[in-house]
Amino acid sequence: MNPRRIVLSLVAGLASTLLLGACGSSNGTGSDSTGSNSAATVAPAASAPATTTSAPAVSTPAADTTATAYTVTARAVDGVGTVVTDTNGMTLYRYDKDEPSPSKWTCKGTCVKTWIPVIVPESVQTSGVGKSLLGTVHRDGRPQLTLAGWPLYRYVGDTAAGQANGQGKDGTWHAVTPTGEKAAATG
């Protein structure tokens, strides 16, 4: 088989995996309180250029787990003050229905289509965020980043660095401060 076909086959397989992962079972509420940790997750981005358009647009803000280091930074964001952002400057969020001690995530099924878990590689760098506050919680065998115990997410409605469109959504989603607290709207 020629190398180009192999690459195209791998890209098509990854796209299929992303689509199937996004179609995980759900109770229709966006979260489940059963305590089961069998949520759908977003697969890491492929390093080969995609030649297919079958991957869902919501996978764009997904964590780049192919990088050797992931960085979380304290950054001032209009409307919410100083919050934590990822390597690409995207605002990170915490969910009131999750638990910080011990860390437990509850967003699964259709919830992870809107609120993308921050899956990280082994190395996480910080700037303005205490490294001792960072940790991970296992999510289907993969490490989801936590801050002060709270599992962290990205919001698909944030399409550019410095946005915080998920702040206050459903009264349970909040941009997270460098200490793990909920950001307050600054008007």
In the three-class reduction of DSSP (H, G, I as helix; E, B as strand; rest coil), residue 166 is classed as coil
Structural domain containing residue 171: 26-35+57-175
Contact 167, 157 (CB under 8 A): no
pLDDT tens-place string over residues 130-154? 999 999 999 989 999 999 999 999 9
Which helix (H) or strand (E) segment holds residue 150: the answer is strand 150-151
pLDDT tens-place string over residues 3-24? 544 544 544 554 444 444 444 4
Tokens of 7: 């690459």
pLDDT at 9: 52
Asked whether residue 91 is domain-assigned, the answer is: yes
Asked whether residue 17 is domain-assigned, the answer is: no
Count of domains for the chain: 1
pLDDT tens-place string over residues 27-72? 333 334 333 343 333 333 333 333 333 333 333 334 444 445 899 9
pLDDT at 69: 80
Q: Residues 112-121: what's their mean pLDDT?
A: 96
Which helix (H) or strand (E) segment holds residue 83: the answer is strand 81-85
Quote the CA–CA distance of 18 and 16 in Å, as a whole number.
5
Asked whether residue 184 is domain-assigned, the answer is: no
pLDDT at 85: 98
pLDDT tens-place string over residues 64-112? 444 458 999 999 999 999 999 999 999 999 999 999 999 999 999 999 9
pLDDT at 133: 97
pTM of whole model > 0.75?
no
Asked whether residue 40 is domain-assigned, the answer is: no
Asked whether residue 9 is domain-assigned, the answer is: no
pLDDT at 68: 58
Asked whether residue 138 is domain-assigned, the answer is: yes
pLDDT at 130: 94
Asked whether residue 52 is domain-assigned, the answer is: no
Quote the CA–CA distance of 79 and 113 in Å, as a whole number.
24
pLDDT tens-place string over residues 149-166? 999 999 999 999 999 999
Asked whether residue 49 is domain-assigned, the answer is: no
